[in-house]
Amino acid sequence: MLGKSKNDEKRREISVPIIAVQGTALFVCLLIVLVIGSFFQYRQNIQSAASAETAAVAMLQQINDDQAKQIEQLAKTTTSLKADLERLNSLDAEIRRIVNNEDAQNPSRAGTVRPSANYKGQGGPQVRPDIIDINQLANALQSEVKIREQSLAELKQEVIARQVRLAATPSIWPVSGDVTSRFGWRNSPFGSGNDWHPGIDIANSFGTPVFATADGQVVRSGWADGYGNLVQIDHGNGIASLYGHNSQNIVAVGQVVKKGQIISYLGSTGNSTGPHVHYEVRVNGNAVNPESFLLLK
Give me the domains of the chain, ranges plus CATH numbers.
72-102+133-167 (no CATH), 178-292 (2.70.70.10)
Q: What is the amino acid identity at position 189?
A: P
Q: Which residues pair with 232 in a beta bridge?
A: 220, 242
User: What is the reported pLDDT for 9?
Assistant: 54
User: What is the reported pLDDT for 10?
Assistant: 53
User: What is the reported pLDDT for 103?
Assistant: 47
User: What is the reported pLDDT for 122?
Assistant: 66
Distance between CA atoms of residues 232 and 129, nearest Å: 68
State whether residue 147 is helix, strand or coil.
helix
User: What is the reported pLDDT for 38?
Assistant: 77
Distance between CA atoms of residues 77 and 69, nearest Å: 12
Query: Could you give phi then psi for residue 22, rounded to 5 degrees?
Result: -65, -40
Residue numbers of the chain with a pLDDT score lower than 50: 1, 103-115, 296-297
Q: What angle do CA 129, 133, 135 make, to 5 degrees?
A: 125
User: What is the reported pLDDT for 231?
Assistant: 98
User: What is the reported pLDDT for 55?
Assistant: 75
b (16+ CB within 10 A) / e for 31-69? eeeeeeeeeeeeeeeeeeeeeeeeeeeeeeeeeeeeeee
Distance between CA atoms of residues 114 and 101, nearest Å: 16
CB 168 within 8 A of CB 197: no
User: What is the reported pLDDT for 51?
Assistant: 76
Smallest CA-to-CA distance from 251 within 217, 200, 226 is with 217
CB 211 within 8 A of CB 172: yes
pLDDT in tens, 54-70: 777 777 777 777 767 77
pLDDT in tens, 80-135: 777 777 777 777 777 777 766 654 444 444 444 444 556 666 666 766 666 777 77
